[in-house]
Amino acid sequence: AQTVTQSQPEMSVQEAETVTLSCTYDTSENNYYLFWYKQPPSRQMILVIRQEAYKQQNATENRFSVNFQKAAKSFSLKISDSQLGDTAMYFCALSNYQLIWGAGTKLIIKP
Amino acid sequence: DAMVIQNPRYQVTQFGKPVTLSCSQTLNHNVMYWYQQKSSQAPKLLFHYYDKDFNNEADTPDNFQSRRPNTSFCFLDIRSPGLGDAAMYLCATSRSRPTGSYEQYFGPGTRLTVT
């Protein structure tokens, strides 16, 4: 069975700090994709970043980057220069057909 | 802008009174999903359509049904809502490709209240 684990139910940091959200997963597939989704208090689920498992290079989208360790089955999200608008639930998800979701991490950015 | 639209955004229904939630998309994606999300939890997949092929999750109650009359529209019918069905319902779409990522695009959700 495929699983995704997010071990941090809640985190809070000061604005402008860097924060890293953890995610580990388990799959027997060789080809798969990993995603981080963001769900702000308004509840619209938004894709933050994606990583193809066959690519060694870590994905980056502006202030968001991942640390993908395939052998360790780890996929953490780093948010640099955090902003108040980054306050949201963050879900890690694994896909090779359907999305397998982690339980989510509630991130609070404090002014 | 291409998007996923859900109507209504808020729906209040009475216990046992059928309700229909709608989803439309302008992305021309061939896969559409319905999720149930309860507070602070991950979305739970109810079912999805791959084109016209309906795929039900094993643990989705019979009380939940879906229709997809065309590529753009998909409906979620709750035949006899119970108090436990109060939740946010999310519609999502993806473009399925043989080597695709199945990246999903979400609508804003419909918050269902059962009284």
Tokens of A71: 């052998």
pLDDT: which is higher, A63 or A95: A63
* Any B CB within 8 A of A25 CB: no
Select the residue of A31, A99, A102 nearest B104 (Cβ to Cβ): A99
Q: Kindly determine whether residue B42 and residue A104, on different chains, have CB atoms separated by under 8 Å.
A: yes
How far apart, in whole angstroms, are the C-alpha atoms of residue A86 and residue A80?
10
How far apart, in whole angstroms, are the C-alpha atoms of residue B48 and residue B93?
9
Q: What is the pLDDT of residue A42?
A: 72
Question: pLDDT tens for residues B4-53?
Answer: 999 999 999 999 999 999 999 999 999 999 999 998 899 999 999 989 99
Is A80 a residue whose pLDDT tops 60? yes
Q: Kindly determine whether residue B101 and residue A52, on different chains, have CB atoms separated by under 8 Å.
A: yes
Rounded to whole angstroms, what are the CA distances from A31 to A37, A78, B18, B103? 20, 23, 42, 14
Chain B contact probe: residue of A36, A45, A48, A96 with most B CBs at under 10 A: A45
User: CB of B67 within 8 A of CB of B75?
Assistant: yes
Q: Kindly determine whether residue B108 and residue A31, on different chains, have CB atoms separated by under 8 Å.
A: no
Question: pLDDT tens for residues B48-96?
Answer: 998 999 999 999 999 999 999 999 999 999 999 999 999 999 999 998 7
Q: What is the pLDDT of residue B97?
A: 59
Which chain B residue shows the shortest CA-CA distance from A107?
Answer: B40
Is A78 a residue whose pLDDT tops 90? yes
Is B2 a residue whose pLDDT tops 70? no
